[in-house]
Amino acid sequence: MGTTQVFAPVGGRAVPLSDVPDPVFSAGMVGHGAAVDPPHEVIEAVAPVSGKLLKLMPHAFIVMTPENVGVLVHLGLDTVQLKGDGFTTHLSQGDDVTAGQVVITYDVASVVAKGLNPIVPVVVMDEREAENIVPSEAVLEGAQILSGTDLFIANK
C-alpha cells in the first residue's frame, strides 16, 4: 500500500469533506478527501500533487500521480454553469505538473457574486473507503491554511 500526501490547492479554511454543502461531495460519491473554503478574492489554484494533468476544465482539474492516484480539485459548487467565467487556466490537459504549480486563477469574488458557493473540494477519484483518507489536523480543527499546506494523506 502506498501513501500520497495531498496538499491544499488554495488557501483558506480547511473543511472536512462531510461539511461540504453538496451531497455528491459530502457523501463521497466522487471520492473521499477534504475541502478548503477560500477567501473572496482572486487566488491561484495549484496542483495538490505532482503528476499528469489528466483532465482540465476551467472550474476543475484532475492530476494523476505516477502511482495512479487521481486527485480532483473542484473550484466551487455548481461552477460548471459559469462556462469558464471567473477562471483562467494556465496549463494544458496532458501537461506534467509539480505539486504547488499554478493550474488555474480563480476569481472567488465573482463566483460568490453570482450566488454560488466557492468552496474547493479535493478528492481522491473513486476512493470508496473513507478510512483510506487521513485528514490533516487543520481539516479536523477547521483551521486557516495556506496553499501548499498538508491537506490529507491518501492510502491506496
Query: Would you call 154 helix, strand, or coil by DSSP?
Result: strand
Residue of 32, 40, 59, 74 marked catalytic = 74
Annotation says 90 is catalytic: no
Range list of β-strands (E), the chain? 3-7, 12-16, 31-37, 42-46, 51-57, 60-64, 70-74, 87-89, 96-97, 102-107, 120-125, 133-135, 144-145, 150-155
Residues 76, 151: Cα–Cα separation, whole Å: 17
C-alpha grid cell, residue 43 = 487566488
Residue 56 and residue 88 in contact, taking contact as beta carbons nearer than 8 Å: no
Residues 125, 148: Cα–Cα separation, whole Å: 20
Rg (CA), the chain: 14
Q: Which of 153, 155, 123, 156 is nearest to 135 (CA)?
A: 153
Residue numbers annotated as active site: 74
